[in-house]
């Protein structure tokens, strides 16, 4: 019996043993100028880890990710659709199957969107919300600390000083090793970065929407600012929620996220977007890749991106995203810029 057959048997017997070759192929990138390294791909639990999803499918996807060197698991307090469901489901898998591998994992969570009823759970940047939310998350996950805790979005009604001091308290209490921010504009990032640095908080990541169809991180100057100030970007929605695949080139499939109205609206599929997707698909084909493979590869071609957060509904999609080829010819990059900028 070879190693792959042994792993499959262990899974069937609910006795998971990770691949011995799990670190052989994955690249690990430093989070800015910190001492933390992230797997170049992170696995996001935004979708398909909720209260109505198959736990066995969740387990299979987590195992596939870890077997292939993905060590970063990206979660938030409101991922559900029932808030906390993704954390609880991952926590159950961690306790059942991965409890001996906690030190090999980077577990992240976030707070800032609505997660429970009442004025303190509605989502903000206040000390009460952030600290209470992380305490809930630690219970859901069944861990003593998370590796990275993000403020999920800026809060115009809370002074940034309060948010920064809450993040400092969280790190000082040992409940998170590092902090990050998400969905901050360049100016908001500049303000928060200064406050966190002033308070000696280990700020390492800004999680941003970044893809071939959304290059705001570049055009706004955020990417350059991150490089200059010693933190890195981690990119979410690298496939633009499925637009950067060949799925929509010939209409809207019945089982697609767009047809099911899952965070992707039909009005986003404009003629202009379709033309861009078709042109990018031709570039990908010339490279011998699917469009999804090229979209992830293009992000990882950029050394300012510490990790790309992928999502999946089944393990086969994770395996496709792993087929990364960061080597782009100059004319390919030029053609991509002509299409997308």
How many domains, in total, are found in the chain?
A: 1
Tokens of 339: 């299409």
Averaged pLDDT for residues 256-276: 69
Look at residues 107, 160, 94 and name the one whose alpha carbon lies nearest to residue 130. Answer: 160
Residue 127 counted as domain residue: yes
Per-residue pLDDT tens over the stretch 277-329: 999 999 999 999 999 999 999 999 999 999 999 999 999 999 999 999 999 99
Residue 236 counted as domain residue: yes
Residue 2 counted as domain residue: no
Q: Is the pLDDT of residue 93 over 70?
A: yes
Q: Beta-carbon neighbour count of residue 127 at 10 Å?
A: 16
Taken in order 151, 153, 158, 161, the sign of the CA dihedral is: positive
Per-residue pLDDT tens over the stretch 134-143: 999 999 999 9
Check: pTM over 0.85? Answer yes or no.
Answer: yes
What domain range is 295 assigned to? Answer: 23-340
How high is the mean pLDDT of the chain? 92
Residue 34 counted as domain residue: yes
Per-residue pLDDT tens over the stretch 195-205: 999 999 999 99
Residue 125 counted as domain residue: yes
Which residues neighbour 304 within 8 Å (Cβ) at sequence distance 6 or greater?
A: 223, 226, 227, 232, 233
Residue 40 counted as domain residue: yes
Per-residue pLDDT tens over the stretch 219-254: 999 999 999 999 999 999 999 988 998 887 766 655
Q: Which residue reads 């496709």 in tokens?
A: 320
CATH number at residue 68: 3.20.20.100
Residue 10 counted as domain residue: no
Residue 7 counted as domain residue: no
| 3 state DSSP class of 141 | helix
Which DSSP string do the residues of 9-40 spell out, in sequence order?
HHHHTT-----TTTTSS--EEE-TTSS-EEES
């Amino acid at each position: 019996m070879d190693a792959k057959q042994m792993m499959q048997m262990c899974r069937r017997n609910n006795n998971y043993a990770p691949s011995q070759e799990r670190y052989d192929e994955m690249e690990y990138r430093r989070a800015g100028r910190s001492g933390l390294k992230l797997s170049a791909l992170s696995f996001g639990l935004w979708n398909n880890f909720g209260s109505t999803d198959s736990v066995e499918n969740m387990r299979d996807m987590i195992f596939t990710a870890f077997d292939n060197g993905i060590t970063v698991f990206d979660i938030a307090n409101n991922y559900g659709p029932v808030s906390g469901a993704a954390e609880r489901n991952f926590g159950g898998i961690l306790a059942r199957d991965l409890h001996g591998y906690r030190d090999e994992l980077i577990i992240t969570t976030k707070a800032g969107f609505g997660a429970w009823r009442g004025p303190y759970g509605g989502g903000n940047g206040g000390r009460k919300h952030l600290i209470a939310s992380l305490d809930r998350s630690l219970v859901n996950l069944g861990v003593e600390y998370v590796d990275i805790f993000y403020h999920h979005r800026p809060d115009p009604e809370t002074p940034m000083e309060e948010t920064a001091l809450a993040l400092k308290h969280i790190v000082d209490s040992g409940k998170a090793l590092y902090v990050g921010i998400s969905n901050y504009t360049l100016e908001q990032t500049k303000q928060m970065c200064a406050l966190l640095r002033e308070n000696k908080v280990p700020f390492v990541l800004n999680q941003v929407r970044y893809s071939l169809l959304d290059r705001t991180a570049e055009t706004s100057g955020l990417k350059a600012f991150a490089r200059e100030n010693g933190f890195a970007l981690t990119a979410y929605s690298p496939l633009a929620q499925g637009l950067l695949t060949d799925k929509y080139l010939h209409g809207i499939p019945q089982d697609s996220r767009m047809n099911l109205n899952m965070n992707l609206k039909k009005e986003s599929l404009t003629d202009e977007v379709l033309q861009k997707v078709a042109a990018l698909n031709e570039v990908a084909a010339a490279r011998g890749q699917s469009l999804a493979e090229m979209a992830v590869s293009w992000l990882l071609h950029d050394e300012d991106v510490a990790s790309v957060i992928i999502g999946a509904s089944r393990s086969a999609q994770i395996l496709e995203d792993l087929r990364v080829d960061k080597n782009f010819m100059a004319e390919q990059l030029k053609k991509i810029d002509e299409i997308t900028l």
